[in-house]
Amino acid sequence: MVAQPSQPCYMTVDEWRKLEERSEMKHEYIDGHIYAMAGGSLAHSEIAINVVIALRNALKRGSCHVYNSDAAARLSSAHYLYPDATVTCDQHDHPSRELRAIQAPRVIVEVLSNTTEAYDRGEKFGYYRECPTVQEYVLVSTKRQLVEVYSRTQQGWTAYHVYGPGDEIVLASIDVHFPVAMLYELTDVPEIIEIPKSEL
């Protein structure tokens, strides 16, 4: 996402939807303004694909569906974002040619990059927390094999788990688990960050 709105004037949700139908670039909708989505590295793309595959395989053919970054998630009447992956278990979010956005996202996954990490951890996480249906927020590193899972509890967003090489990621809200290694298949993302001896 770029730092400044793509268009300075206010836009309604309907106007944004019409723009998305004819535009070759995706735009997130935040408080009446639209923000063009930036591209990522090849590792980012491969990891995002692996995330969708891992989730889809883990979900089998149950009542939940996983969508990639082509699908917008409706977080409120003023916030429509494009996560790298979204899981929904709401019957109204089943694949449809008419449906333009996920109405009840349950699990949100963002693959981090140098340019978006601060936003994904900060302001964007705030939008996700405000959506009452979102139960888990997953951050996948592209610097090393590391996955963070934030979970909503009765006390708020108080549960936090970190998974590294050899671990199995557990997503309790959709009752699935899969190895961290699955998310890094076909990439050169290291298991740990090597610190140059000159910096020791």
Q: Which domains, ranges and CATH numbers included, belong to the chain?
A: 1-38 (no CATH), 40-199 (3.90.1570.10)
Question: pLDDT digit string (tens) for 72-116?
Answer: 999 999 999 999 999 999 998 987 777 789 999 999 999 999 989
Counting residues of the chain whose pLDDT is more than 70, the rounded percentage is: 92
Instruction: Read off the pLDDT of each residue in 12-29 and give the average, rounded to a whole number.
Output: 92
Look up residue 160 and give its two tokens: 């936090």
pLDDT of amino acid 197: 55
Compute CA 97 distance to the chain's CA centroid, rounded to the nearest angstrom.
Answer: 22
- Most confident of the following: 2-6, 112-116, 149-153: 149-153
Look up residue 133 and give its two tokens: 């249906």
Which has more pLDDT, 6 or 71?
Answer: 71
190: phi then psi, degrees, rounded to nearest 5: -70, 155
The size of the chain, in residues, is 200
Question: pLDDT digit string (tens) for 129-150?
Answer: 999 999 999 999 999 999 999 9
pLDDT of amino acid 194: 65
Q: According to the 3-state scheme, what is the secondary structure of 113-165?
A: CCCCHHHHHCHHHHHHHHCCCCCEEEEECCCCCCEEEEEEECCEEEEEEEECC
Quick one: CA dihedral 2, 72, 146, 120, positive or negative?
positive
pLDDT of amino acid 145: 97
Instruction: Read off the pLDDT of each residue in 14-28 and give the average, rounded to a whole number.
Output: 91
pLDDT of amino acid 1: 43
Reply yes or no on whether the pLDDT at 7 is more than 70: no
User: How confident is the prediction for the chain on average, in pLDDT?
Assistant: 91
Reply yes or no on whether the pLDDT at 176 is more than 90: yes
